[in-house]
Amino acid sequence: MVSTFGCNNGLILAGSRVFQTMAKDGMFFKSAEKNNKNEVPENALWMQGVWASLLCLSGQYGNLLDMISFVIVLFYMITVFGVIYLRFKKPDLERPYKTWLYPVTPIIYLLIGAGFCVLLLIYKQQYTWPGFLMVLLGLPVYYFINRKKQPDQ
DSSP line for 58-78: TT-HHHHHHHHHHHHHHHHHH
Kindly state the average pLDDT of the residues 71-75: 89
Q: What's the chain's average pLDDT?
A: 85
Whether residue 142 is predicted with pLDDT greater than 70 in this model: the reply is yes
pLDDT band at residue 153 under the 50/70/90 scheme: very low
Which tens digit of pLDDT belongs to each residue from 115-129? Answer: 999 998 899 888 888
Whether residue 4 is predicted with pLDDT greater than 80 in this model: the reply is no
Is the model more confident about 52 or about 111? 111
User: How many other CB atoms sit within 10 Å of the CB of residue 73?
Assistant: 18
pLDDT band at residue 81 under the 50/70/90 scheme: very high
Kindly state the average pLDDT of the residues 7-24: 84
Per-residue model confidence (pLDDT) at position 150: 62
> 125-145 and 104-123 helices cross at what angle (nearest 10)?
110
> Omega of the bond prior to 103 within 30 degrees of 0, cis?
yes
Task: Classify 148 as helix, strand or coil.
Answer: coil
Kindly state the average pLDDT of the residues 50-69: 78
Q: In this structure, what is the dihedral angle of CA atoms 135, 136, 138, 140, given to the nearest 10 degrees? A: 180
Task: Output the pTM of the full model.
Answer: 0.65
Whether residue 9 is predicted with pLDDT greater than 50 in this model: the reply is yes
> What distance lies between CA 113 and its chain's CA centroid?
15
